[in-house]
Amino acid sequence: MKRLTVLLGVAGVSLSAVFVRWATAPSLVLAFYRMFFSALLLVPLALVRRGEFRDLRGRELLLSLLSGAFLGIHFACYFESLRWTSIAAAVVLVDTEVLFVALASAVLLGKKLSRRAWAAVWLAFGGSVAVALAGASGGSALRGNLFALTGSVCVAVYTMLGAVCRRRLSTTVYTSLVYLSAAGTVLAAALAGGQALTGWGPVNLLAGLGMAVFCTLLGHSVFSWGLKYLPPAFISTAKLLEPVFASAWGGFLFRERPGVPVLLGGALILLGIALYSREES
């Protein structure tokens, strides 16, 4: 039952692309709606742990807020990528997060990777290049793919900062700080760009609320819950189904058919991530 719950969480996360395609608001506005509703739903639960908030150290608070800022930028880039490229390409490129985490760990933290781990990283990297360049002739798809890769780098930074913060902070307290910071970051970016936050109609508010419930609380939060009961390798492998689910949604609802380069490159990415996750576990 626990494994099935995690798989349902992956299905929930994969709906993000569907909500973005249905929405009409700019990416920054949509990212703000998602993070605002996520914080609105989670913060009341976090207030139960008032003692933990009082015991927050300055460094933990700063890193949590910084982590949230990168998460907000990640969502803005990911949502923008879906305006320009296919769901399959955007999702599979965003999921290369683990590769950037691996490279940063090796370069910045001095972590030694085995030959198999490096082979898996470069395999997935080659797949990323194939997918990213798949739209080079069209221009717009390439732009979307680069937005997706930028979003992947941002979520990798978010993950690494979160690993430090989660050593002492509970999931509820940490995520509430992150969601508030993410909402504040995209709000500031939207206001700085002169972007109106209202007047976009109910469909965009419902899209933001839907992503907050299904993709954030019933998606990403399920992964954090599952780590307590299931092997990390299973969680990592289960996440690889997100591009599969998202591509299925794209084909069924929007009649999107990924090209051969996207399919082949995506297969290399998923294989590389799977091999790396197995080597790490």
Count CB neighbours of 26 within 10 A: 20
Q: Which residue has the tokens 């294989």?
A: 271
Please give the Cα distance from 123 to 240 (Å, whole number): 15
Runs of H (alpha helix) within 167-215: 171-192, 202-210
Q: Higher pLDDT residue, 3 or 25?
A: 25
How high is the pLDDT of residue 241?
A: 80
How high is the pLDDT of residue 121?
A: 81
Model confidence at 192: pLDDT above 60 = yes
Q: Domain extents for the chain?
A: 2-280
How high is the pLDDT of residue 10?
A: 87
How high is the pLDDT of residue 207?
A: 95
How high is the pLDDT of residue 203?
A: 94
What's the mean pLDDT in 218-231? 76
If you average pLDDT over each of 23-37, 118-132, 155-169, which comes out highest?
Answer: 23-37
Pair 215, 41: CB distance under 8 Å = no
How high is the pLDDT of residue 137?
A: 53
Residue partners of 219: CB distance under 8 A and separation at least 6: 9, 10, 12, 13, 15, 16
Kindly compute the dihedral angle of the four CA atoms of residues 184, 200, 144, 251, in this order, to the nearest 10 degrees.
120
Exposure b/e, 173-211, CB count within 10 A at least 16 = b: bbbbbbbbbbbbbbbebbeeeebebeebeeebbebbbbb
How high is the pLDDT of residue 76?
A: 95
Pair 43, 194: CB distance under 8 Å = no
SS3 content of the chain, % helix, strand, coil (to 5): 80, 0, 20
How high is the pLDDT of residue 273?
A: 78
Model confidence at 136: pLDDT above 60 = no
Model confidence at 227: pLDDT above 70 = no
Element counts in the chain: helices (H) and strands (E): 15, 0
Per-residue pLDDT tens over the stretch 104-118: 877 777 777 788 888
Per-residue pLDDT tens over the stretch 81-111: 999 988 888 888 888 887 888 788 777 777 7
pLDDT more than 70, % of the chain = 94
pTM of the model: 0.86
Instruction: Report CA-CA distances (Å) from 257 to 23, 88, 195, 210, 243.
Output: 21, 9, 33, 25, 13
To the nearest whole number, what is the mean pLDDT of the chain?
A: 85
Model confidence at 150: pLDDT above 90 = yes
Token pair of 245 as six digits: 């689910």
Exposure b/e, 116-130, CB count within 10 A at least 16 = b: ebbebbebbbebbeb
How high is the pLDDT of residue 202?
A: 93
| Range with the poorest average pLDDT among 4-8, 13-17, 50-54, 229-233 | 229-233
How high is the pLDDT of residue 106?
A: 77
How high is the pLDDT of residue 236?
A: 66
Per-residue pLDDT tens over the stretch 230-268: 766 567 667 778 888 888 888 888 888 877 878 888 888
pLDDT more than 90, % of the chain = 31
Q: Higher pLDDT residue, 235 or 217?
A: 217
3-state secondary structure 10-67: HHHHHCHHHHHHHCCCCHHHHHHHHHHHHHHHHHHHHHHHHHHHHCCCHHHHHHHHHH
